Amino acid sequence: MAYFDSASAAPLHPVARQALLASLDDGWADPARLYREGRKARMLLDAAREAVAEAVECRADEVVFGSSGTWAVHTGVAGALAGRRRAGRHLIVSAVEHSSVLHSADAFEAEGGSVDRVAVQRGGAVDPSVYAAALRPDTALACLQSASHEVGTVQPVAEVAAACRAAGVPLLVDAAQSLAWGPVEGDWSLLAGSAHKWGGPPGVGLLAVRKGVRFAPRGPVDERESGRAPGFGNLPAIVAAAASLRAVRADAAREALRLRELTERIRARVPRLVPDVEVVGDPERRLPGIVTFSCLYVDGEALLHGLDREGFSVSSGSSCTSSTLTPSHVLRAMGVLSEGNVRVSLPAGTAAEDVERFLEVLPRVVAEVREKLGAPSAVPATAVRARELVVDSLGKRCPIPVIELARVFGEVPVGGTVRVLSDDEAARLDIPAWCEMRGQEYLGEEPAERGSAHLVRRVS
Residues annotated catalytic, as ranges: 320
C-alpha–C-alpha distance, residues 317 and 340, integer Å: 9
From the list 172, 183, 163, 179, the residue with the least C-alpha distance to 213 is: 172
Sign of the CA dihedral running 281, 283, 289, 292: positive
Q: Is 346 exposed, middle or buried (0-12, 13-18, 19+ CB in 10 A)?
A: buried
Q: Are 306 and 358 in contact (CB under 8 A)?
A: no
Contact criterion met (CB below 8 Å) for 310 and 355: no
Mark 196-208 as b/e (b = at least 16 C-beta within 10 Å).
bbbbbbbbbbbbb
- The DSSP call for residue 191 is E
Rounded Cα distance, 200 and 238, in Å? 9
**Among 324, 287, 306, 314, CA closest to 398:** 324
